[in-house]
Chains A and B, each alone.
Chain A
Amino acid sequence: MLFLLAILVGVLYGAAVYLLLRRNIFKLVLGLIFLGHATNLLLFVAGGLTSGFPAFLRNVPGETERMADPLPQALILTAIVIGLGVTAFALVLVYRFYSVTKTVDLDELSENE
């Protein structure tokens, strides 16, 4: 399970970087979303997936075997909330950019001053 999730994190990061490098501005936002989710999953994997390692109590026989560590999940929840805020803002930004410039091409972003 851990191995699969690790690969999934890698695939998500790869997809995110690919999307970030595209010229289409909506794909840029999609890339940001992917990047956020890849990191949330990374927190989940890195913070300890298995039960038996609750927060602060390490190796107490008979007590900790059935407990999971709730802290990474709390962290992910916070990261998701923040990611939601940033994504929502990025969407509005991109939409406004589109309605002002009538283009979704990032190359039009470069300043021709």
Chain B
Amino acid sequence: MKCYIGIDLGSTTTKAVLMDAGMEVLGQGITNSRSNYETAAAVAKQEAHIGARLTLFRRGLGDAVTGKNANELMEDLELNIRLEQFLEQLEDLRATCASHIRNGQAGVLEALTEVFERINAEAPGMFQRGARRRSDFFRDIAGSRVMHIGEEVAKTAGVSFETLLNLYDKSIIDVENRPPEGDMAAKYRRALHRVVESDPHLKVDEATAQDAMSKAVALELEETYVVGTGYGRVTLPFPKEHIRSEILCHGLGAHMMYPETRTVLDIGGQDTKAIQVDPQGIVENFQMNDRCAAGCGRYLGYIADEMNMGLHELGPMAMKATKSVRINSTCTVFAGAELRDRLALGEKREDILAGLHRAIILRAMSIISRSGGVTDEFTFTGGVANNEAAVKELRKLIHENYGDITININPASIYTGALGAAAFARRAVENGAGETAP
């Protein structure tokens, strides 16, 4: 079947969306951008393919499984495939680490093997429904487990933790840039088998399911047209007509999610953009933050570092505020000083954080104002859209300044750019391949 792929090469994450001819999203994938956009794009695309196979499998399964059971089945299946991928990469990491052991490092191989055996053993637990993972990226999971387990093992085995860590550091980049390439069809089959077997209450007939899976896996997903966007777009060997700016992709992506969208705000790690789109999703005007990074996601990153907190903990803490401390400068350079100054004055952390969230949203409001203000409907995307404190301030300020406006925030908003890119890919073919415009 014909497929249209959009890839958004962001500065921190790379996203891919795979779409069918009817402009329905079959699958989406995300990975960390690392320093290698080519691999990042390949990994994101592979993830999107997995999503697509699962969607096709679900379609093929039809009414054989329904309701809650179906949802659980799909969720478990996805987790199991992730587990398969994780284990394959983990084995690669182990082998690579082992290859770096120098002669004469007694006991290191044994310790290493022990570490990886333990991670192997706990892996299924990490990929269970409801389990909390720090991240879905291999590097993050493997890294944190090697750190944790490595320290214990080193202690008991009497080898230096440093040595183990060194092996990991030497290997991780290579491994990360060597995405799993084992036989996918077998992985789908194994995963499905494991799910059916471990969850008898789902009442799935394995033969029927495996049959649907085989068909889904056998279907050829033709890469009819690929469009790239995002910061890394120019580093990919894409012909020029396959590249769209993230502004255009974001506008169209937001339009795809919410067709009534007229104003889009995206607050990402590196920049903030306000985009005005027409009823067809065509960009009419856009403004981005200027040279100054004040008010971008990165600002929150600095604050988190300064407070020794995780980025995702900032919003919840700010929500506990009883008042909002006025922050006059969102200058990223002065973020630390501003913060310490308020703390020194005896202000509470949550109240300061509430003020900081307000300050970055105020910056965004200015950029929106620059682009022409807010017209119903308003769609908010980007990493900061997941931050409830930021969203709260935004709702308040939009209401105060522009009145009763519908505000859309999609949980999958991180895929907005890739979605727009996929839609551009579809439109390009519609208008005759090679056309540069929709």
Partners in one complex: no
